[in-house]
Structure 1
């Protein structure tokens, strides 16, 4: 994980992304944040802030395509999350 000590907002988002409650959600949401947040502008950060307020089972279901994505989360960021090639599980 990157150190975001110079930006409280990014530090808070990274903490929330990596402390979800299950290891699976931590890896999916945390790795997504770590891999892509540097490319995001205000709109993308706001999207992610809203997303991480949702339940893990919902986020994972949307990312895995097992449940329909609500319209307000549909779009390029969710499409990118659904690729799942960013998940890096240490072995």
Structure 2
């Protein structure tokens, strides 16, 4: 389940409604860069359909019930080539 980050209001962070996202979840620790350019440790990576909306700071609930946050989402688009297009969602 992904609750997309929408921004900040006078009462704090604002999130969209939770949406179920199906994809491949790789639970492997690795070092990634945040949108601000900082090196951050990612505990999991979700490979989801390209149309998935999961900007940085979105909230995610994994199948095991663990809650985490999106570090960054990177489009992997083959531009029509016969390769798997997907959105790589790096999770804290």
For normalisation by structure 1, the TM-score amounts to 0.19
More helix by share: 1
More strand by share: 2
